[in-house]
Amino acid sequence: MKLTFFRSLVFLLLAPTCCAAQTAAPAKQSSPDKATTRRRDSRTLDETLQWIKRQMESSGSSHNVSYPEKRYKWHRVTSYGNLQLHDCQLTIEKTYQNNARPPRKVRYTIPLRDLSSANYEVDEGNEQFKYTPVVSVLFFRSNTKSMHWGRGRTYAATDLIEIEFGSDPSFGKDKIDQLGKAFLHLRDLCAARARKEQPADKSASPAPQ
């Protein structure tokens, strides 16, 4: 009788621990799905485009450009606007002014179907020109040289276009990263719409009599 009593006591002590462990296990398996749902962007194409336009109001920069080899130095101010989307092709106008010279405009064209990335980076300039302070930028990269910029009669194809930031100090890396993801989301939505609008396969149509 004593042996049976002790066995029953051990079972009662271990049973709550066992059951608690079995109950807690399913909760751990469900958490990744919830995290994935939170990360999913459910905005429509028009909602994404309008959000991008609002964020682009904070784009533009004000910085010094130096050319050490020639001992040149000037101040540059940039701004961006007139963002349009037509048939999955994005256009953005850039206005820039060097010192007191008249402002000039450049028109960027970005075919979203060929866009490979849109990432935040810090631009210090290049071997010839140096920026002070350094400029926060959103770099667009395409798989081929399908993007281009135009200024008057000048036209150049490229696989790299940058949007400068810094005029609005509150618009930092986190917000630029979010803007880059929104551009990629816009690309995906455009691609999905294009697939839906494609005509049906001609091979499936009945042969003419």
| Domain boundaries defined on the chain | 45-194
| pLDDT class of 5 with cuts at 50, 70, 90 | very low
Looking at residue 160, what DSSP letter applies? E
Q: Which two tokens stand for residue 45?
A: 């194409």
pLDDT tens digits, residue range 27-50? 445 444 444 334 688 999 999 999
Residue 145: CB atoms within 10 Å: 12
Backbone angles phi and psi of 73, in degrees to 5? -155, 135
Task: Judge whether residue 60 has pLDDT over 50.
Answer: yes
By the 8 A CB rule, do 163 and 149 touch?
no
Cα distance between residue 203 and residue 199, in whole Å: 11
pLDDT tens digits, residue range 131-173? 999 999 999 999 999 999 999 888 899 999 999 999 999 999 9
Q: Which two tokens stand for residue 52?
A: 């991008």
The full DSSP string for 65-133 is EEETTTTEEEEEEEEEEEEEEETTEEEEEEEEEETTSPPEEEEEEEEGGGEEEEEEEEEEE-SS-EEEE
pLDDT at position 7 is 47
pLDDT at position 18 is 42
pLDDT at position 139 is 97
pLDDT tens digits, residue range 93-121? 999 999 999 999 999 999 999 999 999 99
Q: What pTM does this model have? A: 0.75
What three-state secondary structure class fits 150? Answer: strand
Closest CA to 59 of 166, 205, 172: 166
183: Cβ–Cβ under 8 A, 6 or more apart, which residues?
A: 52, 112, 115, 118, 138, 140
Task: Judge whether residue 204 has pLDDT over 70.
Answer: no
